[in-house]
Structure 1
Amino acid sequence: MVSEYSKSGVDLNKLRSYHSFISSYLSSSDLPIKIGHYAGAIKLGDKYIVMHVDGVGTKTLLALKTGIIEPTGIDCVAMNVNDIACVGAKPIALVDYLALEKPMDDVVEKVLRGLKHGAEESQAIIVGGETAIMPGVITGYDLSCSVVGVADKLKTGQDVKPGDVILGLASNGIHSNGYSLVRKLIDEGKISLEKWADELLKPTKIYSNSVLSILDKIKAAAHITGGSFTKLRRITNYRISIRLPDPPEVFKVIENGGVSHEEMHKVFNMGIGMVLFVSKENVEEIIKTLEGKEKVMELGKVEEGEGIKITTYRGQVLNL
């Protein structure tokens, strides 16, 4: 069965095969984190230097269409600082890459405003970047960032075990993934852009400060982005069993546009932007520490066995 995401031009299975090929081709036993995790790292003295690169994707096309551009600058920062926080790193510096189809003064100004906002919120410094005008290569604009962070100790999920509790931090909407599919539904008249523009263009929530504030109380963290809950496989080979709460309305609107219930949980975050793996005895303290900063939900547990079992808000059981 061909997925709606594939029909929009994005083949997640092919993308995963590329990731696997890249990881095997570039892997080295000298690396403290295997290529393909949330970030890469090298050891430098008694510290780890952690690096990551990510972009905003085709959300920029909706930003141009609606004129809601500034949030994409925040998205760019968030997608990077959230990922390095998953391995225990504090963001230090960012560089950005902005490619334009043609000169667009308004876009440049608004993107920079968003980048600055995101950098200030995540306590990172933008130290430079690159701007290019490439007609024939770029449609509209493309935006990505690279981040450098530092960690005393890496969090890779190696000590996650059966009995550990899985917590979820609420998302701020669909964040920065699945927009090729969303645009397809808009073009087909199944979602009203006029009605849902503000919701669809909300910036990705920055979780790095929250994750770093409880770093000593968690075993692992997983940023729920492209591929949605399938990314939990990066953390552990044990069975992950979670029950998801009722998601924000925007996800139901997308599903009602013609996306299957199962595919929704393979593409979108469904209201959970970050997943934490913690020992049972630390749950209460984590919730207390994050009170007022994050909406924390207990989702499930790590169990003996393999695979990812999701009980959806409809009560349907999915094995991803």
Structure 2
Amino acid sequence: MVNEYKKSGVDLDSVKGIHSAIVDILSKTYKNTVLGAGHYAGVIKIGDLNLAMHVDGVGTKTLLALKTGILDTVGIDCVAMNVNDIACVGARPLAILDYLALEKEDKDLVMSVLRGILKGANYAGAEVVGGETAIMPSVVNGFDVSCSVLGKVEKLITGKEISPGDLVIGLPSNGLHSNGFSLVRRLIDEGKISLKDYGEEIMKPTAIYSNIILSVLNKIKGAAHITGGSFSKLHRVTGYGIDMKMPDPPEIFKVIENAGVPHDEMYKVFNMGIGMILFISEEHVDDVKRAIAEKNINAIDLGKVTKDHSEVILRTYKGSVLHL
């Protein structure tokens, strides 16, 4: 049970049930689908090509973007949430579409968000080929933004190759990224976190990992983008057990925890400083870590895959042991 998040209006257990129902319905449409709903991206076969597709937004982070005036970073967030996910199935992003819904006309807002989308797309090596802007008073509060991405699968990775003994490494996050903001906003509204003191830290954009994953694609067995639902996402990638010791998280996570979120719940809602997890055989781990270091990123040793259980065990920085 994730109590504080539920009080903020998000029931993760209920959401999982909705997702399961959606997957069951969508599967009835599959004809050329190689990888369907329930993984990080859908993959469809067209001729000799496997094409990956995904759609995602930035959630209620948009409301804090309006409060802080930091608008361009949510455009980067929107791109990151998409390109990171298709990279988890081995796809290189090619084209992006954006959808921006507004409560009222606001050219400055549109241009700020678009600048962020373009910056993220350029970094990921994708083209923004079009989009849609809608004015929807009484439907939208402020604005909402989402993107769709199309990518070419260079090597399909689903996690099926993962086996006991494989090593698990993490890539550091850039902060909260784009999840848990309904909870963060409630803590701000209750005066438990100062937006003046922590606004810039909270609004840091989601890190883009797609280039890193693609550079080591032939040496990894699986990848997991840590987003909504946090480390429960690892169940998407493998049915084996995973035993990980988590590092000391960045200060912003401790601020949130000290504002009243139980320690265990932090690891069920937030990325706690780890934005992407890679699964690698022991023979390739040094090569992968070296390639990541060349991009000025320090990979973090987290643990390994086990055969003794089918759950994710997290050993937190405070010494707690969580079973997910």
TM-score (norm 1): 0.98
User: How far apart are residue 47 of structure 1 and its match?
Assistant: 1.9
Counterpart for residue 16 of structure 2: 16
Instruction: Measure the CA separation in 2 of the matches of 1:5 and 1:251.
Output: 15
In structure 1, the residue corresponding to 2:141 is in which secondary structure? coil
User: How far apart are residue 153 of structure 1 and its match?
Assistant: 2.8
Counterpart for residue 172 of structure 2: 170
Counterpart for residue 32 of structure 1: 34
Q: Aligned partner of 2:240: which letter? A: Y
Matches within 5 A, 1:71-82: 71-82=73-84
Judge conservation of contact 2:92–2:152 (CA < 8 Å) in 1.
yes
Matches within 5 A, 1:155-304: 155-293=157-295, 294-304=297-307
In structure 2, the residue corresponding to 1:184 is in which secondary structure? helix
User: How far apart are residue 25 of structure 1 and its match?
Assistant: 1.1
TM-score (norm 2): 0.97
Runs of 4+ in 1 over 3 A off after TM superposition: none
User: How far apart are residue 152 of structure 1 and its match?
Assistant: 3.3
User: How far apart are residue 154 of structure 1 and its match?
Assistant: 1.0
In structure 2, the residue corresponding to 1:195 is in which secondary structure? helix
Instruction: Measure the CA separation in 1 of the matches of 2:9 and 2:294.
Output: 40
Instruction: Give the paired residue count.
Output: 320
Instruction: Measure the CA separation in 1 of the matches of 2:233 and 2:18.
Output: 15
Judge conservation of contact 2:2–2:12 (CA < 8 Å) in 1.
no
User: How far apart are residue 2 of structure 1 and its match?
Assistant: 6.3
In structure 2, the residue corresponding to 1:32 is in which secondary structure? strand
Instruction: Measure the CA separation in 2 of the matches of 1:229 and 1:222.
Output: 9
User: How far apart are residue 32 of structure 1 and its match?
Assistant: 1.6
| 1:130 and 2:132 matched | yes
| 1:313 and 2:317 matched | yes
Instruction: Measure the CA separation in 1 of the matches of 2:263 and 2:75.
Output: 31
Instruction: Measure the CA separation in 1 of the matches of 2:49 and 2:317.
Output: 42
Instruction: Measure the CA separation in 2 of the matches of 1:102 and 1:200.
Output: 25
In structure 2, the residue corresponding to 1:245 is in which secondary structure? coil
Give the gaps of 5 or more residues in structure 2.
none
Matches within 5 A, 1:77-156: 77-156=79-158
User: How far apart are residue 262 of structure 1 and its match?
Assistant: 1.0
In structure 2, the residue corresponding to 1:114 is in which secondary structure? helix
Judge conservation of contact 2:92–2:154 (CA < 8 Å) in 1.
no
Provide the alpha-carbon RMSD of the alignment.
1.0
Judge conservation of contact 1:47–1:152 (CA < 8 Å) in 2.
no
Percent identity of the aligned residues?
60
User: How far apart are residue 89 of structure 1 and its match?
Assistant: 0.1
Give the gaps of 5 or more residues in structure 1.
none
